[in-house]
Structure 1
Amino acid sequence: MTPAARLQATLDLMYEVDGVARPADAVVAAWFRARRYIGDRDRVHIADLLYALLRHHARIAWWLAKHGRPDVPRNRLLAWLALDGRTTPDQVHVLFNGGKFAPAVLRDHERALVAKLQGCAIDHPAMPDEVRFECPSWAAEPLRRRFRDSFGREMAALLTAAPLDLRVNPLKSTREAMLRALRDFGLKAEAARMAPYGIRVKERPSLASLPMLRSGEVEIQDEGSQLVAMLVDARPGERVVDFCAGAGGKTLAIAAQMANKGHVMACDVLANRLKRAAERFRRAGLHNIETKPLASETDRWVKRHKGGFDRVLVDAPCSGTGTWRRNPDARWRPLGAGLDHLLPLQASILASAARLVKPGGRLVYATCSMLPEENEEQVAAFLAAHPAFQVVPLRAAAPQLTGSAHPDHLSLTPARHDTDGFFAAVMQRNAEALSEEPSAE
């Protein structure tokens, strides 16, 4: 594709992302699937430009408002080309030439916008912190409370591009073998710092070109997510529940920990996601996983299996603040009914899933959020209402992680650990009778 055609393709994709409520990564994947004629290098270029625009969404909108221009995809693209500093006004005029597969010729007010923004930095002293850090107003106060003096550093880290992390499937290969294979493809790959089966790829390859993904030898999974699954510490022969399994990433890691021995129940209220996850399970060669759609967190299945599992993971639905560098559009999408709805839902899910844990068994509560309300405060409230459970200190649950987290729970952030933001707490049920536990129904 010509440079002008790439810009027009990016513009088309921007309109697609703006026009639907689905996450940008899903829209991008579907858009490229429908255009298989676009080559790998062009795909990388288009996707990189789109995600740069998403990561600078609030600041670009600020500049457009400052100059009285509407916040629409074409203006956003023009503003970014000027503010980024790598394209001169003359080059912008050449690219927007109205030719075949090229953007339409610039109008006078568009030429004026490019000229006004040329030489300006994307950040401006007059920008409010929420704009400069691309932080929606609903999240700013709790994140400031969480990070205090480190707020700016953490927000800046969330504006960087997320790395590509892979998890090796130990049933099919080893990390050493996969590192060699990736390097043979000419990729810069290295062992993850903390996750024992993790690999970080320093480039953005076409994922379709990696045979180890198709064969199930590796899965795409952020290192932080891998560490949450590791905290479950599932053993061969045990009975385990992934209560909010979703697409099955952590389920895969848990089942592999168990060496295909024992039984893993992958539960979720979204049956279609479980169906898609089942294909991933088969590709990975895992046959100790059973999927179970639930009507709600208090489905009758939970009561029938009370106290029947050694390990229960609750990867609760959350605000997703920890994934903003990977999903920059998520910070601007409506948060459903908001935290006022999410917080009681998380508490209800955790209380209901806890009923599945047998005496002496473990319950792991996790989110990809960095908000205290969704993390430490949820765990504290649960423990106060469920005295049969106690926190397992991280030094006991995962001694190898104590240098990277709070003493009582896993707490990862992009700035400190170069992972997505994750929280996880391990709790253990004592030997008291199950009947003494308060009901979640």
Structure 2
Amino acid sequence: MNSTLMRQTAALLNDMLQFESPADGKLSEFFRQHRELGTKERAWIAETAYGVLRRYRYLREISITEPDEQEDTRKLILAYLIKIEGKSIRDLDEMLDERQKEWAVQIKSKTSEGFAPAILADVRDWFWDKLVAQYGEAEAMTICRSMFEQASLDLRVNTIKATREEVLARMLAENTVKDNVITTTPYSPVGIRMGSRLNIGKHILFTEGKIEVQDEGSQLLSYLVAPKRGQMVADLCAGAGGKTLALGALMKNTGRLYAFDVSEKRLNNLGHRLKRSGLSNLQAQLINNENDIKLKRLNGKFDRVLVDAPCSGLGTLRRNPDLKWRQTEQDVAELNVKQTNILARAAKLCKTGGRVIYATCSLLRDENESIAEAFLQAHPDFKLIPASQVLAQQNIDLDTGEYLKQLPHLHGTDGFFAAVFEKAGQTTEVAKDS
């Protein structure tokens, strides 16, 4: 650690703390502009900047008395290193000037006595109040603190090309991962969990299309959709297609799988992943919105419709800590309108006996149970199918009640919610392979 690293990290953090756009994009741009940085330097800068984002509110409270934009970011970094990382002032000697050493002494002497719970939980007041209303104060605090930790690196084995056992055996035998703790995921039958981060994008198993990076909670969503061979399936908000590819593998490359999205850039990314995957049953379609004419032609055609809805992302704070500072209560209210409209559109695409699966990576009832309950009230031709029942039919032992509800402190995944709705009528027949 030296003064140059401190200066560079402060510059990056100052940009991130504008909260104008996602932190991961800011980090990527910063590293593109500083190609001279080595692997260890990049790791230190990234971990420190993200560490500050995770504990931003607490660190501000402990370090900043009189706001000064030029000095604040350095004080935040110092507070993180001393209070969170446990560094001594002697450890930091090489990177501090005399004035900064005075700050360090002041920061070290401060305690969190008297801090409000929302400050200790490191979230905004409105988010804290909603979590307390849902879970009670003790569990709300546990949830928030569980999201101070970095997310594990979860991989999904592409069963079109390999089995989990084959991939595990290869990874355990390779020198590139010899110091990593590698385990199977506790719930997903195709998941592998890495104990520490790895540049998986350059790994031979990734380039061969045998593995994809995907959180275990996201992997389980495809099992909740439970597509059958030969069926017609839609991913209505496909994004870059991680869940779509998982669905294609479960369908064993049969039937027809549609990936719809409003972003051409995201669908182009799906195209690159599709080439690696070995799937041939997937068709990506760009749409303007949920009322696009391309969708109208497909009304009543689908056996399964997945709505991985646009949401606050507040269940992903382990990997996207900036979201808790960027999202507002008003943003969530606006998202609720989108979620309701997209789910209603999905209902029209679904055939009699088919299913609509609604999912978010949010912890908020406003985006989860409330949307599901309102959908059932507005669509009496649909009924709720217990998520635990759908998973049990595929030998996945995870019972969180009628809905799939995963929490970081309980399941080691991002915060996920999902509901399964079935359209009244005769149960969908399993189509023949095509």
Give the TM-score normalised by the residue count of structure 1: 0.89
Distance 1:153 1:424, change over 3 A: same
Render the CA deviation track for 1:295-329: whole Å, top value 9, x for unaligned.
11222222211101110000111111111111111
Note the 1:328-367 alignment, pairs <5 A: 328-335=321-328, 337-367=330-360
Contact 1:243 1:266 in 2 (8 A): yes
Which amino acid counterpart does residue 199 of structure 1 have in structure 2?
A: I
**Letter matched to residue 275 of structure 1:** N
- Measured against aligned partners, the alpha-carbon deviations of 1:134-168 in whole angstroms (never above 9, x if no partner) come to 11122122211221242121121122211111111
SS at match of 2:322: helix
Kept in 2, the 8 Å contact 1:182–1:188? The answer is no
Question: Which moved further from structure 2: 350-359 or 390-399?
Answer: 390-399
Runs of 5+ in structure 2 lacking a partner?
Answer: 427-434
Q: Name the aligned partner's letter for residue 385 of structure 2.
A: V
- Change in CA separation of 1:166 and 1:232 when aligned onto 2, cut-off 3 Å: same
1:411 matched to 2:401: no
Partner of 1:206: 199
Q: Distance in 2 between matches of 1:270 and 1:255?
A: 21
Q: Contact 1:69/1:75 (CA < 8 Å) preserved in 2?
A: no
The alignment's C-alpha RMSD in Å is 2.2
Query: Corresponding residue for 2:73?
Result: 73
Partner residue in 1 for 2:416: 422
- The aligned runs of 1:424-439 (5 Å cut-off) are 424-431=418-425
Instruction: Structure 1 unaligned segments of length 5 or more: list them.
Output: 97-105, 433-441
TM-score, normalization by structure 2: 0.90
- The answer on whether the counterparts of 2:156 and 2:192 sit within 8 Å (CA) in structure 1 is yes
* Structure-2 change in CA distance of 1:396 and 1:80 (3 Å): closer
Partner of 1:257: 250
Contact 2:187 2:397 in 1 (8 A): no
Provide the residue aligned with 2:92 in structure 1.
Answer: 92
- Percent identity over the alignment is 34
- Contact kept, 8 Å, 2:12 with 2:27, in 1: the verdict is yes
Map of 1:180 onto structure 2: 169
Q: 1:158 aligns with which of 147, 155, 164?
A: 147
1:210: Cα distance to partner? 2.0
Larger mean CA deviation between 179-188 and 361-370 belongs to 179-188
Q: Deviation digits for residues 237-260 of structure 1, max 9, x if unmatched?
A: 111100011111111111111111
Secondary structure of the 2:187 match is coil
Q: What is the rounded CA distance, in whole Å, between the counterparts of 2:36 and 2:251 in structure 1?
A: 42
User: CA–CA distance in 2 between the matches of 1:304 and 1:321?
Assistant: 35
Aligned-residue offset at 1:86: 3.7
Corresponding residue for 1:168?
157
Taking the aligned partners of 1:56 and 1:134, their CA distance within structure 2 comes to 6
Give the whole-Å Cα distance in 1 for the aligned partners of 2:303 and 2:12.
Answer: 46
What's the offset of the Cα at 1:401? 7.6
Aligned to 2:317: 324
Residues 9-36 of structure 1 deviation map (CA, whole Å, 9 limit, x = unaligned):
4233223423562211222234334544
Contact 2:222–2:246, Cα closer than 8 Å, also in 1: yes
Q: Give the Cα–Cα distance (whole angstroms) in 2 for the partners of residues 255 and 5 of structure 1.
A: 48
Alpha-carbon distance in 2 for matches of 1:232, 1:368: 16
Please name the residue that 2:128 is paired with: 140
2:271 corresponds to: 278
Whether the 8 Å CA contact 1:312–1:362 is kept in 2: the answer is: yes
Deviation per CA, 1:360-416, whole angstroms, max 9, x where unpaired?
A: 111100000111111111111111111111111224311168753432110000011
Q: Tell me, yes or no, if the aligned pair for 1:409 and 1:423 is still in contact at 8 Å.
A: yes
The letter for the 2-side match of 1:78 is L
Q: Given that residues 388 and 398 in structure 2 are in contact (C-alpha distance below 8 angstroms), is that contact kept between their aligned partners in structure 1?
A: no
Superposed, 1:6-405 pairs within 5 Å as: 6-19=5-18, 21-65=20-64, 67-70=65-68, 72-84=72-84, 86-96=86-96, 106=97, 108=99, 110-120=100-110, 124-148=112-136, 149-183=138-172, 184=174, 185=176, 186=178, 187-335=180-328, 337-399=330-392, 404-405=398-399
Measure, in 1, the Cα distance between the counterparts of 2:292 and 2:329. Answer: 22
Tell me how far apart the structure 2 counterparts of residues 331 and 401 of structure 1 sit (CA, whole Å).
Answer: 35
Pick which of 182-191 and 29-38 moved more. 29-38
Compared with structure 1, are the counterparts of its residues 143 and 253 closer, same or farther at alpha carbon in structure 2 (3 Å cutoff)?
same
TM-superposed CA distance for 1:263, in Å, is 1.2
1:211–1:15: structure 2 CA closer, same or farther, 3 Å change rule? farther
Task: Tell me how far 1:37 sits from its aligned partner.
Answer: 4.4
Q: Is the 8 A contact 1:361 1:429 kept in 2?
A: yes
